[in-house]
Amino acid sequence: MIRRRAPGKLFLAGEYAVLQPGHPAVVVAVDRCATVTIAETHCGETILVSDLGGGTRIRCLRDGGRLVPAPGHSDENFEYILSAANVVEQLVLESGGRPQPFTATATGADLTDGSGRKLGLGSSAAITVAMVAALSAFYRLPLTPFDRYRLAMLATLAIDARASGGDIAAATWGGWIAYHSPDRARIQELAGTVTGALRADWPGLSVRPLPAPHRTRLLAGWTGQPASTSTLTGRTGGNHRSIRAHPTFLAGTTACVERLITAVGADDVLGVQREIRRARTLLEDLDAVAGLGIRTPELDALCTAADIVGIAAKSSGAGGGDCGIAVVDRDRPEQAAALIRRWSAAGIRHLPLQVYLGDSNAAE
């Protein structure tokens, strides 16, 4: 039996701008994980089990070299798992191997509120990365972290062509990541073979682990309002016209994120807080122009509570609900305690997260 897990994420800055190839974001892996377990089966069928959507189980058949749900079984809650399995097995075929039946059990409950509602921590990306890692180990494929990232990205783009991949990078490497998204249209052109896509250059892609700052503490608050990242980013249009409609957003966000990367590397908590505030303002200005629905009353309350106690805060990810983050100086625990109390009074749930730096069961 093979078991792999991959962490969720929080975006610090760079949302929406990172949808443009080559534009930067900072994303952090957190210690809420998805887990995939692969076991050999002797029944001749591939079985997928998931706790997403209340817990389901489907049988899969191979049709034209691809895994598909058996008649009477739905791929609902299994899109990303199936896509990851098909990408890995395509690589197996291209390498001269033969796909084998297996049972895959995917668990993402750690990334929900306990009743099945997602927290906005990148559960789909974490499940995809964990599935790629577990199935690659099952087939004994010698893959590098970049290989696993690319396989997970190919699997994700088959479902959501707009995905930036920042959550996939966090789930693959862990820790603090400076990330530049690749040209997804170019990747789609490379996807004739998985082997070719792995060997090709991905224009715009950059993944750079950052040193973990010691003074900077992240707090995460959940609004209780789940949001769909693909729906929100889809409102930008196929050519991201809404982003380009704001003439200063891309340039301002790129400069902000580059300063944030410098501040993180220098363990400059005041500098990190300053850029978090700038990133929030840039997103609010974009939302005012483009009407993307980034802001919600709950996220505004989350940020206002932080403002009152002198802490920098913003939405994390696409917005529209889900999580917000706050940056606190570790030497001022009283500020963190005051913010958590105010969040609770405003109906914001504090998520006790830590930065995930990896372990022996991670996607390695």
Which pLDDT tens digit goes with each residue over 8-54?
A: 999 999 999 999 988 999 999 999 999 999 999 887 789 999 887 66
pLDDT digit string (tens) for 175-223?
999 999 999 988 878 767 999 999 999 999 999 999 999 999 999 999 9
Which pLDDT score, from 0 to 100, does residue 228 have?
Answer: 56
The whole-model pTM stands at 0.92
Name which of 359, 356, 355, 309 is nearest 332 in CA terms. 309
Instruction: Check residue 246 and give its pLDDT.
Output: 63
Tokens encoding 272: 């990190």
Mean pLDDT of the chain: 90
Q: Which pLDDT belongs to residue 188? A: 78
- 46-50 vs 102-107, strand pairing mode: parallel
